[in-house]
């Protein structure tokens, strides 16, 4: 176990503590690297920085709407493919394809599809007589189309997890219900769905955690634009810290964001255990 712990200490725990330190420092790269302890200035600046709170509200929208859509779609697809129909295996393999595609590549694919004048979507819209949409260029809409990209990419993961969950439901339950005269909706509502709750919670949590780190596709799709209307905390911290070389402030953004994420997930975890919805002990 030692090597694993050592690796984590050096490359995760130390950088983490170091980031905390950086957020209270003044870092300069002019004429060689120099780090000086400074106090809470970065944090004061952060609290008054509208751009930071903007990025927080963006990621909140992104995670909540994105994961909900992914869950609804993933569940629907998993239910549809629960039926033993011809071509089932083919559809499964196909539906799982997006998961392994490099996120950055997904960004490029959709950027081409979204292109205002040559993109497929606008071409389809105008050919059926509808007005075209400036998908990524409109600050009020851009986030929704960024979310759509994420839904395309990660619905398959929820589909995969829920399919596995569905396989764990004993057939005997369902047969018993059928004999009792339950229709398919009732069977879903009273048998399948309750059985799926633990898997669902795990899937939603997993996706929410991953989605909160969102940046790769965004980097290609909008780069946080138009303006800062799609900028996420990760991208903001990257741009401030590693692009503008304001390393200390970048560290502050990242750390503040992590604190918020942590608080959010601890609260969620408490709520879940409070209601006894699942035993997350092992996972």
- The DSSP annotation for 10-63 comes to IIIIHHHHHHHHHHTEEEE-TTS-EEEE--SHHHHHHHT-HHHHHHHHHHHHHH
Query: What dihedral do alpha carbons 6, 9, 15, 20 form, nearest 10°?
Result: -160
Would you count residue 202 as binding another protein (CB under 8 A)?
yes
Residue numbers 211-240 binding another protein by CB under 8 A: 212-213, 215-216, 219-220, 223-228, 233-234, 237-238
Among 52, 62, 152, 154, the residue binding another protein under the rule CB under 8 A is 152
**Could you tell me the smallest distance in angstroms from the CB atom of residue 15 to another protein?**
4
Candidate ranges 61-69, 174-182, 187-195, 245-253; the one touching another protein (CB under 8 A) = 245-253
Would you count residue 5 as binding another protein (CB under 8 A)?
yes
Candidate ranges 62-70, 170-178, 186-194, 275-283; the one touching another protein (CB under 8 A) = 275-283
Tell me how far CA of residue 167 lies from CA of 78, 81, 162, in angstroms: 10, 11, 9
The residue whose two tokens read 């290609």 is 220
**Could you tell me the smallest distance in angstroms from the CB atom of residue 132 to another protein?**
11
Would you count residue 40 as binding another protein (CB under 8 A)?
no
For another protein, the closer of residues 3 and 129 by Cβ is: 3
Residue numbers 117-146 binding another protein by CB under 8 A: 117-120, 123, 134, 137-139
Would you count residue 29 as binding another protein (CB under 8 A)?
yes
How far is the C-alpha of 172 from the C-alpha of 178, rounded, in Å? Answer: 10
Among 52, 62, 71, 95, the residue binding another protein under the rule CB under 8 A is 95
Residue numbers 52-81 binding another protein by CB under 8 A: 76-77, 80-81
From the list 212, 163, 199, 201, the residue with the least C-alpha distance to 64 is 212
Under 8 Å between Cβ of 275 and 269: no
């Amino acid at each position: 176990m030692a090597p694993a712990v050592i690796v984590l200490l050096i490359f995760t725990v130390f950088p983490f503590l170091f980031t905390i330190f950086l957020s209270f420092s003044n870092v300069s790269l002019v004429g060689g690297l120099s780090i000086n302890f400074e106090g809470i200035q970065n944090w004061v600046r952060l609290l008054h920085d509208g751009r930071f709170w903007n990025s927080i509200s963006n990621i909140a929208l992104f995670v909540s709407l994105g994961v909900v859509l992914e869950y609804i779609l993933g569940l629907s697809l998993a239910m549809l493919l629960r039926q033993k129909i011809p071509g089932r295996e083919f559809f499964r393999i196909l539906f799982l394809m997006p998961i392994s595609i490099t996120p950055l590549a997904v960004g490029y694919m959709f950027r081409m599809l979204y292109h205002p004048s040559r993109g497929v979507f606008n071409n389809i819209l105008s050919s059926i007589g509808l007005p075209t949409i400036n998908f990524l260029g409109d600050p009020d809409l851009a986030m929704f189309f960024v979310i759509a990209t994420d839904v395309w990419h990660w619905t398959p993961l929820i589909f995969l997890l829920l399919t596995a969950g569905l396989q764990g439901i004993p057939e005997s339950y369902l047969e018993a219900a059928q004999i009792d005269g339950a229709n398919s909706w009732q069977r879903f509502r009273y048998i399948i769905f309750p059985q799926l709750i633990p898997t669902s919670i795990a899937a939603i949590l997993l996706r929410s955690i991953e989605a909160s780190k969102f940046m790769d596709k965004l980097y290609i799709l909008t780069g946080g634009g138009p303006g800062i209307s799609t900028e996420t905390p990760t991208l903001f911290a990257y741009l401030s810290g590693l692009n503008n070389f304001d390393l200390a402030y970048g560290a502050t953004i990242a750390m503040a964001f992590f604190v918020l994420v942590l608080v959010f997930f601890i609260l969620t975890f408490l709520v879940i255990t409070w209601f006894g919805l699942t035993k997350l002990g092992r996972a």
